[in-house]
Amino acid sequence: MESELNEALTFEQATATLPEVRKAFLGGKAETKERIAAGTKLYKWTQHQLVGPKGITSWWSFLEDRILANGRKTAGLAKLQERAQHLGASDSRFHRTQFAVTRQWNQMTRPLVAELVKPVWGFAGRTSGQVEDKEVAGVYLIGGGDQVWIPNLTIKYARQVAALPYLAPESGIR
C-alpha cells in the first residue's frame, strides 16, 4: 500500500537543511503534524500561479476554520476577512501582516485556492514575524497567522479551484 505524502516525515527530518522553514514558525517549530484529507481546500494570497518554475509552493492556510491535532482552533479565510474588514485593512495587507510575507517574497495580488486530491501530511503552527521589506530597516510584520507547510507537494496531490466563491462580497481584491 502506498503511504500518504509526508506520513513518515518528522519536522526535524524535513527541516534538517532548511533553517528558513524553522524560522517561519513561531518558536522555530511547527505546533502539530496534521493529516489533511483529500477534498480539503487551502488558500494563500499570492502573485504566483499554482504551479511555478519550482513546482507548487509548500506554504498554505486552511480555507475553512480547523481544529488542529493539539485542539487549538485556526481561523479560515472568512474569519480572517471579517477581521481585516473590522480593522479597515485590505485582505492582502491583513494577510501580509498575519503571515509575515516580506515584499521581496511575494506581492500578494490575488487569492489562490487549491483542493487536495489525495490526503497529505503537513506541519501547522503560527507564523513568526519577519521584516516587511528587506530594504527598510526596523519595520517588522508581526505574524501570528496559522499556516501549514506541506513539503514535497506536487500536482499529483493538489489542483487549483476558483477563489471567488470563498471571498466575502465586500472584500474585493485590493
Provide the mean pLDDT of the chain. 92
pLDDT in tens, 46-66: 999 999 888 899 999 999 999
- Does residue 46 contact residue 103 with C-beta atoms inside 8 Å? no
Over residues 5-42, the pLDDT tens digits come to 999 999 999 999 999 999 999 999 999 999 999 999 99
Buried b (16+ CB within 10 A) or exposed e, 122-140: bbbbbbbebbbeeeeeeee
Query: What are the residue boundaries of the structural domains of the chain, listed by start?
Result: 11-166
Q: Which residue has the higher pLDDT, 61 or 166?
A: 61
Tens of pLDDT, residues 136-146? 888 899 999 99
H or E element in which residue 20 lies:
helix 19-24
12 sits in the region (left: phi over 0; alpha: psi -120 to 50; else beta) called alpha
Instruction: Report yes or no: 119 and 38 within 8 Å, Cβ to Cβ.
Output: yes
C-alpha distances in angstroms, 34 versus 10, 52, 111?
A: 11, 25, 23
Structural contact between residues 79 and 166, judged by C-beta atoms closer than 8 angstroms: no
pTM of the model: 0.92
Q: Is the pLDDT of residue 174 over 50?
A: no
